[in-house]
Amino acid sequence: MITIQNKNELRKYAMQKRNSFADSGVLENKSSIIIQKILNSSEFNNSNHIALYFPIKNEIDLTSLLNLKDKNFYLPRCNNNELEFVKFEGFNLLKSGTYGILEPTGEKINPEILDIIYIPALMANKMNYRLGYGKGYYDRFFAKYNLKAKKIIIVPFELHNDAFIQDEFDFQCDNTISA
Ligand code: ADP
Ligand code: MG
């Protein structure tokens, strides 16, 4: 367990750790285990409106879930430094956005319809607080709305870190899924 507390130091550590997963097939393996956990969860099976994310920089890849036809999926989009969610209507309708992340091009939805939001993270602690890339997109989004959606962090086990102390503006999520 590492004991660094500074967020920027932790981000560097987490990025390096994730890079080490990339080549060896570890990331694919973790992604498929987490997908199985999601598919086996009652919260997923009981939900209809589900937000995922398009992976970058060795994030866990959940995008094969987007092929399921019996759920409505949504992806985040950065607009004027704020997060919004847009319905996924097919891979061919995604376009590279602000950070080079593939984003849907349709109308933003009312996020109050969402049942679950799966959130990528660099790290998470046992209280379900997440460390992101440092722009606070999800923190600001969750502070703006009072969402019923279950907020679930997706992060490798190796990047659980209870030395990470959240700031007061960090938003507490409901659960963390790891592999
Ligand atoms: P991340 O969550 O991406 O790891 P941080 O938690 O470090 O990033 O947050 C980045 C910045 O976002 C903070 O320095 C803070 O100023 C801003 N921020 C976070 N939450 C809010 C909020 N609810 N309202 C306004 N600014 C916020
Ligand atoms: Mg934060």
pLDDT tens per residue across span 105-116 = 999 999 999 999
Q: For residue 95, how far is its CA from the centre of ligand 2 (angstroms)? A: 26
pLDDT band at 47 (very low <50, low <70, confident <90, very high): very high
Beta-strand relationship, 116-120 and 150-154:
parallel
Residues around the ion ligand 2 (C-beta < 5 A): 139, 170
What digits encode the pLDDT tens for the residues 122-175?
999 999 999 999 999 999 999 999 999 999 999 999 999 998 999 999 999 999
**Which residue is closest in CA terms to ligand 1's atom 17?**
136
Which residue puts its alpha carbon closest to atom 22 of ligand 1? Answer: 140
Residue 52 has a pLDDT of: 98
Expressed in angstroms and rounded, the spacing between residue 89 Cα and the centre of ligand 1 is 30
Distance 179 CA to ligand 2 centre (A): 22
> Which residue owns the Cα nearest ligand 1 atom 21?
140
- Atom 23 of ligand 1 has which residue's CA nearest to it? 140
pLDDT in tens, 160-170: 999 899 999 99
- Identify the residues whose C-beta falls under 6 Å from ligand 1: 7, 131-136, 139-140, 143, 167, 169-170
Taking 90 as the threshold, does the pLDDT of residue 84 lie above it?
yes
Cβ-defined contacts of 96-102 (< 8 Å, 24+) = 99/56, 100/56, 101/54, 101/56, 102/54, 102/75
